Amino acid sequence: MSPGQNGGVETSTACLHNEAMQRRGRKDEGLASFHQPVSPSGRIHARTNSTFQARLEPPRMELAMRILVTGGAGYVGSTLVPMLLEQGHRVRVLDNLKFGGHGLLPCCSNRFFELVRGDVTDAAAVKSALDGVEAIIHLAAIVGYPACKKEPQLAQAVNVDGTANLLRLRKPDQRFVFASTGSIYGSIPDYVCNEDTPRSPITLYGETKATAEQMVLDAGNGIAYRFATAFGVSNRMRLDLMPNDFTYQAVKNRNLIVYEGGFKRTFVHVRDMARSFIFALERWDEVKDDVYNVGHETMNFTKEDVARKILEHVDYYLHFAEVGSDADQRNYEVSYEKIRKKGFETTVDLDRGISELVRAAKLIEFQNPFANV
């Protein structure tokens, strides 16, 4: 959280390297590339003006945007950022690299990718990161109920105050897409939640997200996406998401004990989450100033359903027992009709997502620090 020397921003090694190159009189391929205009063919214009002037130039290709992704080094971001780059956008990531930056290594070959190592609670870092972007995708957060419970003050600071910083410092015409969560619905058994269902979070995570999403809607020129629980393989992998965890245990341990198997959850593949951000930016006038559940009704499953689906891919011992209770007491179904009517459909189902997870689980190894082998 300590501010660096660059207006409170600690720049990445890549950017420091660029500074060194500039000092030696060589061309800066970092910030300058981010700000360079694109021709309708998608080719970069030769940079004849200074970096400062280039910053002021608007993009010339209608759909290519300069986008700030906060928390872009995380599980969702490390799938989203490469996708945005592939679409021809310039992407700046503001992330404090809480979990490292390895998830973005595949982006480093793209000169339209820029990493700014900084914190969303640091106003100077945020102000600098917002410079010259047309859209903000705000992912940075303390994510999930266990992490928020462990560090409640940090959760409040990042999830609420960090969002407030971005909203206060952005210009009104900078589009703002906020990653909220279905956790804001809390526990509503036997009821299908839609966007008009009152928010009733039962965890600090849900509370901070509910507060932040209201701030986004009040500020205008923004949308809030209430995502289902993510799953699937990403460059920055998370094994604390239920289908990812279950699949990993099935592959590695060849057994899994499931309790509270009847609890319903709703899932969305991480690539579909990424696609939904692109969808929003492309259909901005049709979708802005509103809130949407993002997922699909066919992806509402019980924990038991998920465990049984994994059995179709992995031969393992599955046991149901009431040996514990999930601290995450969410138990709800969600309607995704609103975003579907706008034209967004998810594409990756549970079966495909699990088959990818099985392949990934074979690649992931943990060394027990107290074992010799």
Ligand X SMILES: NC(=O)c1ccc[n+]([C@@H]2O[C@H](COP(=O)([O-])OP(=O)(O)OC[C@H]3O[C@@H](n4cnc5c(N)ncnc54)[C@H](O)[C@@H]3O)[C@@H](O)[C@H]2O)c1
Residue list 137-176, contact with ligand X (CB under 6 A): 139-141, 143, 158, 162
* Residue with Cβ nearer ligand X (79 or 249): 79
* Residue with Cβ nearer ligand X (18 or 208): 208
Instruction: Determine the Cα–Cα distance for residues 189 and 340; give it in Å rounded to an integer.
Output: 23
Give me the least distance between CB of 181 and ligand X, in Å please. Answer: 4
Q: Are strands 66-70 and 229-231 parallel, antiparallel or unpaired?
A: unpaired
Q: Which residue is nearest to ligand X (CB)?
A: 74
Alpha helical stretches, state H, the chain: 13-23, 31-35, 51-56, 77-86, 123-130, 145-150, 152-155, 163-169, 204-219, 242-253, 270-282, 284-287, 303-311, 337-342, 350-363
* Residue with Cβ nearer ligand X (76 or 258): 76
The answer to whether the CB of 206 falls within 8 A of the CB of 152 is no
The answer to whether the CB of 316 falls within 8 A of the CB of 254 is yes
Residue list 206-245, contact with ligand X (CB under 6 A): 227, 229-230, 236, 238, 241
With CB under 6 A as the contact rule, the residue among 75, 112, 113, 336 that binds ligand X is 75
Give me the least distance between CB of 191 and ligand X, in Å please. Answer: 20
* Residue with Cβ nearer ligand X (36 or 70): 70
* Residue with Cβ nearer ligand X (227 or 248): 227
Give me the half-sphere count of Cα atoms (radius 13 Å) on the Cβ side of residue 319.
Answer: 10
* Residue with Cβ nearer ligand X (160 or 241): 241
> Six-digit token pair at 246?
């279950």
With CB under 6 A as the contact rule, the residue among 114, 119, 207, 213 that binds ligand X is 119
With CB under 6 A as the contact rule, the residue among 9, 97, 160, 215 that binds ligand X is 97
- The contacts found for 34-37 with CB under 8 angstroms, 24 or more apart, are 34/66, 34/90, 34/92, 34/112, 34/114, 34/132, 35/66, 35/90, 35/132
With CB under 6 A as the contact rule, the residue among 77, 201, 206, 232 that binds ligand X is 77
Q: Where does residue 319 rank: exposed (0-12), middle (13-18), buried (19+ CB within 10 A)?
A: exposed
Per CB under 6 A, 8 contacts ligand X: no
Per CB under 6 A, 99 contacts ligand X: yes
With CB under 6 A as the contact rule, the residue among 30, 38, 59, 74 that binds ligand X is 74
The answer to whether the CB of 338 falls within 8 A of the CB of 279 is no
With CB under 6 A as the contact rule, the residue among 71, 132, 206, 243 that binds ligand X is 71
Give me the least distance between CB of 96 and ligand X, in Å please. Answer: 4
Ordered strands of the 264-269 beta sheet: 229-231, 264-269, 300-302
Contacts with ligand X, residue ranges (CB under 6 A): 70-71, 73-77, 94-99, 119-121, 139-141, 143, 158, 162, 179, 181, 227, 229-230, 236, 238, 241
